[in-house]
Structure 1
Amino acid sequence: MEEVQNEFSLVGIEDKSASENIVKPALSTWQSVWHRLRKNKLAVVSLVFLVLVMLYALISIPLVSQNSANQFDTGTAKYKNLPPKSGLPIPGWDGNMTTPGATESVDVYAKNDVDQNFILGTDNLGRSVAKRVTVGLRISLFIAIVATAIDLLIGVGYGLISGWLGGWVDTVLQRVIEVISAIPNLVVVTLLAMLFGSSMWSIILAIALTSWTGMARQVRNLTLTYKERDFVLAAKTLGESGPKIALKHLVPNMSGTIIVQIMMTIPSAIMFEAVLSAINLGVKAPTASLGTLITDGQNMLQYYPYQILIPSVVLVLVSLAFILLGDGLRDAFDPKMADE
């Protein structure tokens, strides 16, 4: 019998304790989300870009004020409609352009005897486009972020109450959402403009009053799902109150959906503000926003296209970055995207 046993050899793990070792390190929920998000290169690039944009907007507050962006020399016309000039021999960015009525490209700065470089050119009043785009970006981001924050507070609270209480309360609250969703946004904006005037705060209020319904619906649906889970039933058994369960258990579990919804709401708010400015219901001149800059630049599109292209490119890049980051976060928060 011993001779037969000697003919066989142990294959595999000889040390039993080695088979019990965990090969992959244990990751928390947020570490797992970041691990999956890093694999999405577009989302990471968008995140870095948005962080840089936010930092630039904050740093520019003491450096570029609204008044400095609105200032122009009324005594001379030499600063009007100057093309972008970087000081480097870069085609299209060297201060040369074909002025209206001319047949050849000339150095407009030398022609007008301007000894100052405007990196993004000037508008039809001689104001720096770079300063106005900086202020416009700041105001558009402020409008979108504040409106989204109000949307977050109303939508999450409303959805939690509707889903948690259920019954006739849920039915009534959902009918209210349907009524609000049926009202066109433009009607709400027009009424607010008549009551409070066309201002930044009326736009914020209009966006907040009309965009929270999507957040409320998603939170309500998740609340209906989670409130029957074991961890919620256990919290009820231990005597936890409804508000505590909502804040300690429900909101953290639905945080991924909320964050993704926020990333989608911000670019929608930026675009909405631009559309309102285009139809003269947005921020009023001389206050600069990306929407008002695009509206002002469209009148000069034939002769000075840079005046509309620059704010349009900024608007598209910021909105696209938020959308790509939102898509990346949606995949990162999806457990199905985890590594097998």
Structure 2
Amino acid sequence: MEATHPFDLVGIKNEAASEKINKPTLSFWQSVWHRLKKNKLAVISLYFLAATIVFAIGSTAVTSQNDANQFNTNEAARYKNLPPKSGLPIPFWNGTGHVLGNADRTDVYAQNNVEEKFILGTDNLGRSLGKRVVVGLRISLFVALAATAIDLIVGVSYGLVSGWFGGKTDTAMQRGIEIISAVPTLVVVTLLAMLFGSGIGSIILAIALTNWTGMARQVRNQTLTIKERDFVLAAKTLGESGPKIAFKHLVPNMAGTIIVQVMMTIPAAIMFEAVLSAINLGVKAPTASLGTLIADAQQMLEYYPYQILIPATLLVLVSLAFVLLGDGLRDAFDPKMLDE
């Protein structure tokens, strides 16, 4: 039986067009960014941390450490413990608060004859809490980033050497990590404070001496796996040296693990600095960090809660942002996650 109508080709009529790949080819880092953008919390955390770091660095031109530390002893009674005042009729941000001995909220600025406005209030010595929070954020970030940088250099180098050589060298180096991990960090901080005095340098050194072991273990495990792959064996056959293979082949292939570990180390260092400052083993007074601000304000929490809530909230937000970004990066670097 003959067909009365010819068949029509449905779909792609051009054979060349059927071979065309519509999906663009992405590099490794473009693929990582593509997956990271799907995690909204991680992207928000990334932008928040970028803005926070830029603000902390840029504020050095406006607010110096001396500006935040200095106060007039003759005017301390007049300016101390002023509540936050924005200049707008916003509840709890309009300059009213409780004065010791009075249960009613009053305009503390008018009562003390203060014409200036302190957006975040003042502390018990009359210093601007806004300036001290800015300086405290800057110092806390500096301590965490400096300690993490040392952790990155020492941990990656140690892990590469241990995993690359293996055998007795690896066994001896891993026993060294176990010994260092068994020593409490607080003991190291106390010894360094006795030798060099408490301060920023002692905190950075203490964190750097004890926190690199986690990075070293991660890098060592990755090195043991990657060094057996074909491209590494080919590089050995071509006569490339060990250091060149390490930095040209091993480190790029474990970059995801290293970056995620760094993102998890920074908030731990920030919190550790805050704890040390709270027990007077951290930053020396009158220099402010987020930890010292929390420690100084805890005794007056009942009467001036803003003095502890402001630095504590900022500390939690920054630490949480690093953790969320680290989780997002861990998922983005996961090779099992395919682009849709």
Alignment TM-score > 0.5, same fold = yes
1:273 is paired with a residue whose SS is helix
- What is the alpha-carbon distance in structure 1 between the residues aligned to residue 4 and residue 223 of structure 2? 62
Which moved further from structure 2: 67-76 or 119-128?
67-76
- What is the alpha-carbon distance in structure 2 between the residues aligned to residue 133 and residue 239 of structure 1? 55
Which residue number in structure 1 is paired with residue 321 of structure 2?
321
Which residue number in structure 1 is paired with residue 35 of structure 2?
36
- What is the alpha-carbon distance in structure 1 between the residues aligned to residue 309 and residue 60 of structure 2? 24
Residue 210 of structure 2 aligns to which amino acid in structure 1?
A: T
2:41 aligned with 1:58, yes or no? Answer: no
- What is the alpha-carbon distance in structure 2 between the residues aligned to residue 333 and residue 147 of structure 1? 24
1:286 is paired with a residue whose SS is coil
Residue 298 of structure 1 aligns to which amino acid in structure 2?
A: Q
Q: What displacement does 1:88 show?
A: 0.6
Which residue number in structure 2 is paired with residue 26 of structure 1?
25
Which residue number in structure 1 is paired with residue 145 of structure 2?
145
Q: What displacement does 1:104 show?
A: 1.5
Which residue number in structure 1 is paired with residue 83 of structure 2?
83
Q: What displacement does 1:13 show?
A: 3.2
Q: Deviations over 1:92-147 (max 9, x none)?
A: 00000121211211110011000100000000000000000000000000000000
Contact conserved, 2:200 with 2:283, CA < 8 A, in 1? yes
- What is the alpha-carbon distance in structure 2 between the residues aligned to residue 36 and residue 42 of structure 1? 13
- What is the alpha-carbon distance in structure 2 between the residues aligned to residue 322 and residue 17 of structure 1? 48
Q: What displacement does 1:8 show?
A: 5.2
- What is the alpha-carbon distance in structure 1 between the residues aligned to residue 99 and residue 239 of structure 2? 77
Q: What displacement does 1:14 show?
A: 2.9
1:300-311 equivalences under 5 Å are 300-311=300-311
Residue 33 of structure 1 aligns to which amino acid in structure 2?
A: V
Residue 39 of structure 1 aligns to which amino acid in structure 2?
A: K
2:78 is paired with a residue whose SS is coil
Which residue number in structure 1 is paired with residue 336 of structure 2?
336
Q: What displacement does 1:338 show?
A: 2.0
Residue 58 of structure 2 aligns to which amino acid in structure 1?
A: I
- What is the alpha-carbon distance in structure 2 between the residues aligned to residue 310 and residue 177 of structure 1? 38
- What is the alpha-carbon distance in structure 2 between the residues aligned to residue 234 and residue 103 of structure 1? 79
- What is the alpha-carbon distance in structure 1 between the residues aligned to residue 197 and residue 24 of structure 2? 57
- What is the alpha-carbon distance in structure 1 between the residues aligned to residue 8 and residue 87 of structure 2? 78
Aligned length: 339
- What is the alpha-carbon distance in structure 2 between the residues aligned to residue 309 and residue 119 of structure 1? 14
Contact conserved, 2:63 with 2:131, CA < 8 A, in 1? yes
- What is the alpha-carbon distance in structure 2 between the residues aligned to residue 14 and residue 28 of structure 1? 31
- What is the alpha-carbon distance in structure 2 between the residues aligned to residue 7 and residue 50 of structure 1? 64
Which residue number in structure 2 is paired with residue 119 of structure 1?
119
- What is the alpha-carbon distance in structure 1 between the residues aligned to residue 243 and residue 98 of structure 2? 66
Unmatched tracts of structure 2, length 5 or more: none
Contact conserved, 2:297 with 2:308, CA < 8 A, in 1? yes
* Length-normalised TM-score, structure 1: 0.97
1:131-210 equivalences under 5 Å are 131-210=131-210
Which residue number in structure 2 is paired with residue 281 of structure 1?
281
Which residue number in structure 2 is paired with residue 252 of structure 1?
252
Q: What displacement does 1:159 show?
A: 0.3
Contact conserved, 2:68 with 2:135, CA < 8 A, in 1? yes
CA 1:283–1:12 in structure 2 vs 1: closer, same or farther (change >3 Å)? same
Which moved further from structure 2: 268-277 or 4-13?
4-13
Q: Deviations over 1:218-267 (max 9, x none)?
A: 00000000001111111111111110011011101111111111100000
Q: Deviations over 1:134-176 (max 9, x none)?
A: 0000000000000000000000000000000111000000000
Q: What displacement does 1:178 show?
A: 0.6
Q: What displacement does 1:6 show?
A: 7.9
Which residue number in structure 1 is paired with residue 109 of structure 2?
109
- What is the alpha-carbon distance in structure 2 between the residues aligned to residue 325 and residue 234 of structure 1? 36
* Length-normalised TM-score, structure 2: 0.97
Q: Deviations over 1:67-107 (max 9, x none)?
A: 11011121131101000001111000000012121121111
Which residue number in structure 2 is paired with residue 297 of structure 1?
297
Contact conserved, 2:297 with 2:307, CA < 8 A, in 1? yes
- What is the alpha-carbon distance in structure 1 between the residues aligned to residue 54 and residue 165 of structure 2? 42
2:328 is paired with a residue whose SS is helix
- What is the alpha-carbon distance in structure 1 between the residues aligned to residue 325 and residue 167 of structure 2? 37
- What is the alpha-carbon distance in structure 2 between the residues aligned to residue 315 and residue 118 of structure 1? 21
Which residue number in structure 2 is paired with residue 215 of structure 1?
215
2:262 aligned with 1:262, yes or no? Answer: yes
- What is the alpha-carbon distance in structure 1 between the residues aligned to residue 157 and residue 19 of structure 2? 45
- What is the alpha-carbon distance in structure 2 between the residues aligned to residue 281 and residue 70 of structure 1? 19
Residue 173 of structure 1 aligns to which amino acid in structure 2?
A: M
Q: What displacement does 1:52 show?
A: 0.7
Residue 54 of structure 1 aligns to which amino acid in structure 2?
A: I
Residue 34 of structure 1 aligns to which amino acid in structure 2?
A: W
